Structure 1
Amino acid sequence: MANLIVCCFPGDEIALFGNAVLGKNDEQWKALLVCPDPLAGQSYEQAAGAWRTSCVELGVEPLKSLNLPFLPTKQYDWGELSGLIRPFLKSCDKVYVPDLEDVSFFRRMVSFSAARHATSVWAEAVSGVGDAIHILDRNQINRLFGIANQHYALRLREKRLVTQDFRSVRQYRCLSGETALRFSHQWLSTNTPDIMDDDPWDIGNSVFEQERHRLELAALQQLEWNTLVEIGGCVGAFTHRLVEAFPGKDICVYEPNAHFAATLARRLGQRVRVVHGGVGNLTESFDVVFASSVLYYLKRFPLSLLDSANRYFVTSHIRWYHEEIVGPVFLAAGWNAVYEHELLPAIEDFCCIPILREGACIVAHERPHAA
């Protein structure tokens, strides 16, 4: 069977996948185009036509252009997009997609959509260790230059293709469709309510997260309290350490994700009170409100949440969110920071891909005393 390259835009076949095609020119190659991305004065058919002739010159059979417009990303439903790509995956051996961490969100979305129905994908990979490395010699890279000059002069003029896109060395990482989907869903998306995973984001195995938990516990150990609510307890990685460190305390956990809440209740339901709900469902007050890496998922900071903290509000979020949102909120409300610690970023592996855990500002805010 043939290999399939999924091109997001014209030129991807030579820039992103030319190394693989020329490195395995004894294999059969086919290509699918998602978005022709026509330039000013160019029709969709003309843009797709340039892609087709480029593919043929590269030795790749162009199957079809889906002719999708280049709209703002949120205008596309990834499930619908994956349905359009799915029919072309059936008769192919290997499926090549753009880097799952490509700077273009649209390319990432195309890769995500292809992985949804693929047994495995070969993703172009800038970072980490690839499973296949293809090195082009001068004649081969000049061949790609020639195709670009002949068929994509307009894209070169508009900087849609640049010289840095053509590299003599490219690597491709083979991931199961399930793993690629997990990475895209959990690391690149903020749509957490439908994640069903007993160890999302590899929290339970992350050295960085274990250090974060240690520092968060250190903050709580500086405070005097009897009741605490954890906002967004996920599957209970931190909650477990919390009940071990404070066995005599009254702890409640709110978690909006149904699967996470059920997992948390199964694991720790005998030791904490688990509520399937989010910030909007919280009507009680506690000595401490604890929120770690959850508030930035909300469209706006829930100011009413401050009313639920009788004495302290402990936050643990990435630096930019703390400086731009959390800090100003508590400063304006007159709360005092009684504990502060910054956890610096660290690189870790997630789904065989290196990621940056972006650090955290861990702060315990004390409610201002009544005059």
Structure 2
Amino acid sequence: MATTVFHTPIKLVFGDGAVEKVGEEAAHLGKKAMVVIGGSSARKSGLLDRIIADLKGHGVEAVVFEGITPNPRSSTVDEGAKFAAAHKVDLIIGLGGGSVMDASKAIKLAYSGGRPVFEYYTGQADAKAVTPKAELMLVCTMAATGSEFNNGAVLTNWETHEKRFIGVPIYYPAVSIVDPALTLTMPVEQLAKGGVDIFLHVMENFITQQGETPVGDALREVLMKTVVDWLPPSVKNPSNLEARTNLSWAATLACSQFINLGGATGYRPVHLMGHPLSGYFDIAHGDSLSALLPSWLRQSMAIRGARIARIGKNVFGVDTDPVGAVEKWLESVNMRVTLRQLGAKDDKFEVLAKAALETSRGLLIKDPIHNSVEAIAGLYRAAY
């Protein structure tokens, strides 16, 4: 078994009412904050005003940068870095879901490093050599990506249609606030997409791992079962705070170093092959995962059948047809979709497959199944 290193410098404040700690925590980090938000939901709900008032009450001045979109654009991040420089902020607060949190991390990097942010994603510039000019706080309003508890972020360069990931020390937030009550205002459709993302964060690692790790496998099975059990009632009853709390815990842990405890390993090929679908067609992340998942499982059975069968038994409670059980679960939360329904064009599948290989940081080329343009394009066609 390889050596496991667990390290996180993140202070996590989790629980109902945790949002009331924003001003108190921010006061330890800076005096002038840039609050990053997406569209208008934080304004309409009154959450933004509450946050700004809390910051002011603790002696922290705030300016607002608005306009982060799903599949956040590198161009918007560069605008945010210029905004941060113009206002000379010493604290960046990401208030929103995964897109806002990822963009906030990237704004910190571009602001501190002074280079177009995507240069750090392509290797033209070294993010690890950048000295931070601001602290980072994340206030999570959506149970999904888990960006609040890791040092990774995904960005899309819309001009080149590249969607890339990097994980670097500067992306660690100093403090993350997770208040499950904030997720109660999430539209049900976004909740379902986020739930699929949480599930895949764990499932892909579990399936691609070679061998068994009793402690690591058990931890990941519990996380998967939590999502499988609590996403449907959360979708059916949007005011179910117990369900939202359990999903928030699962989201926070699923994409953190926690899932490597017990000696567990693995990687996320569905994510890697889903990224070009967002980069070219602006398909929502959760939708791309949902469309690819059943076909990926079927194409993986010959080599990874034992791991998939174990998920069927221990997570879904079935002894046969684990893929069918996954499909029924997706249907129960209205997430059984095809690439055709999502607007993908089949004449681009070879281009997408090539992009997946080029942006996968060498992981897909080592995959025992989806390691070529032909194999990846074949998956896209099966999911079409």
TM-score (norm 2): 0.29
Q: Which has the higher contact order (CA 8 A, sep 6+)?
A: 2
Give the number of the structure whose residues are more often helix, by fraction: 2
TM-score (norm 1): 0.30
Give the number of the structure whose residues are more often strand, by fraction: 1
